[in-house]
Chains A and B, each alone.
Chain A
């Protein structure tokens, strides 16, 4: 057999072998990976919204909103969740934001992804130095008023309804979270309200 023919045959066999293994494995692993992603999404939504029976996913203008609803007796919207992404100090910060239906108050937030400075910026997720409440930073946002916009203050306890306290030594990460939230609250409000208007009651 000529060398060229041998080369082509060997490479073809290897490609078929590779393709075979990978397509089979794709079939096995893809559903599991998708299921895990969905599970994580559901967990995050449940953490930031008030109690709901089910949620509906709607897409408006490139934005995905998760509407939490109670379905006993009559259907009632209890909250709206969405994923808010923006620039942090070191990289992207991704937050699951939960809002009450009038958009004037936050029901809760959960930091999904971040690569902030370990020991400083990472305190937006968990602050081990605070023994009573390591999650104090994100807990601040529960029932936080959003109007006119959320403000950040340093070193003193918040006095206004839409104020939160920055993490000492991680002002930029703290401010980044607030900026991301403010932007997305406005965006969600605009999109959701314009969508509801177009749905005649």
Chain B
């Protein structure tokens, strides 16, 4: 049932840290690892995912009272897959180089646990307004992690941030950071850091 005790701002902010979908709930890890070899790729993937999350949340929240319980998952999946196709085709038509970089990971947004998870846990049970806030918050939290991890890997792996050179000629890039091991390493460090910060806050 709708959580009336949660304030409007909380509904949005919780996605950024306390219930960050990647670092706390460990959802949607596949794209996080795959497209964070640069900050711009992370941002593009984050926006695409948030687009799908928002649009499907809006539709599902609007029709939540009409969908019979037994077919809800199938309905969610069709709706989500439809908007993922829209996003994928949009990138291919209007931003071909980014579409090429992100490759097959855009269609994989369909199985991004964050989206199905939010529909099942929230949008199908809450009002349109709250669902929009929840999805926006989760999406923002997701984008933040993607940009931070993408930036981290890009700076150490290429010496650039969003394409602009940050570390000069003296720096010999750590190629491994933009390769798979660097992805796992970066994410592992981020998760560990998040847990450590939360433990430290709990003690304080």
Interface residues of A (CB under 8 A from B): 3, 6-7, 10-11, 14-15, 17-18, 21-22, 25-26, 28-29, 32-33, 36, 118-119
Chain B interface extent, by class: 20 to 34
Contact A118-B78, Cβ < 8 Å, known A11-B71, A36-B96:
no
Name the segment of B22-30, B83-91, B129-137 touching the other chain: B83-91
User: Known: A29-B90, A32-B93. Contact between A10 and B75, CB under 8 A?
Assistant: yes
Cβ of B66 within 8 Å of any chain A Cβ, yes or no, is: yes
Q: How far is the CA of A17 from the CA of B178 in the complex (A)?
A: 40
- B78 and A25 within 8 A (CB): no
Residue among A3, A14, A22, A118 with the highest chain B CB neighbour number at 10 A: A14
Let me know if B82 and A22 touch, CB within 8 A.
yes
Q: Judge if B144 is at the interface, Cβ distance under 8 Å.
A: no
Q: B75, A14: Cβ atoms under 8 Å?
A: yes
Q: What is the predominant secondary structure among interface residues of chain B facing chain A?
A: helix
Q: How far is the CA of A130 from the CA of B14 in the complex (A)?
A: 49
Number of A-B contacts (CB under 8 A): 50
Interfacial chain A residues near B68, Cβ < 8 Å: 3, 6-7, 10
B167 adjacent to chain A (CB < 8 Å): no
Q: Is B193 an interface residue (CB 8 A)?
A: no
- Assess whether B94 is interfacial by the CB under 8 Å rule: yes
Question: Nearest-CB distance from B100 to chain A (Å)?
Answer: 9
CB pair B93 A29 closer than 8 Å: yes
Evaluate contact between B85 and A14: CB separation under 8 angstroms.
no
Q: Which of B67, B92, B96 contacts A10 (CB 8 A)?
A: B67
Question: Which chain B residues in 82-118 approach chain A with CB under 8 Å?
Answer: 82, 85-86, 89-90, 92-94, 96
* Residues in chain B near residue A11, CB distance under 8 A: 71, 74-75
Q: Would you call B78 and A18 a contact (CB within 8 A)?
A: yes
Question: Interface on B for A, CB 8 Å cutoff?
Answer: 66-68, 70-71, 74-75, 78-79, 81-82, 85-86, 89-90, 92-94, 96, 173, 175, 178-179
Minimum CB–CB distance from B160 to chain A (whole Å) comes to 12
When distances are taken between beta carbons in the complex, the residues of chain A under 8 Å from B179 are 118
| Chain B residues within 8 Å of A25, by CB | 85-86, 89
B177 to chain A, nearest CB (A): 10
Select one of B71, B79, B93, B178 contacting A18, CB under 8 A: B79
Contacts of B78 in A (CB 8 A): 14-15, 18
- Cα-based distance from A119 to B92 in the complex (angstroms): 27
The docked-state distance in angstroms from the alpha carbon of A21 to that of B87 is 12
Q: How far is the CA of A110 from the CA of B136 in the complex (A)?
A: 43
Contacts of A33 in B (CB 8 A): 89, 92-93, 96
Chain A, Cβ-Cβ closest to B76: A14
**Contacts known (A3-B70, A11-B75); A32 close to B86, Cβ less than 8 A:** no
The CA of A36 and the CA of B67, in the complex, are separated in Å by 41
Residues of B within 8 A of A10 (CB): 66-68, 71, 75
The verdict on A119 contacting B86 (CB below 8 Å), with A7-B71, A29-B93 known, is no
* B82 CB contact (under 8 Å) in A6, A21, A36, A119: A21
Closest beta carbon of chain B to A124's beta carbon, Å: 16
| C-alpha spacing A11/B94, complex, angstroms | 32
Distance in Å: Cβ of A178 to nearest Cβ of chain B: 25
Task: Looking at the assembled complex, report how far the CB atom of B82 sits from the nearest CB atom of chain A, in whole angstroms.
Answer: 4
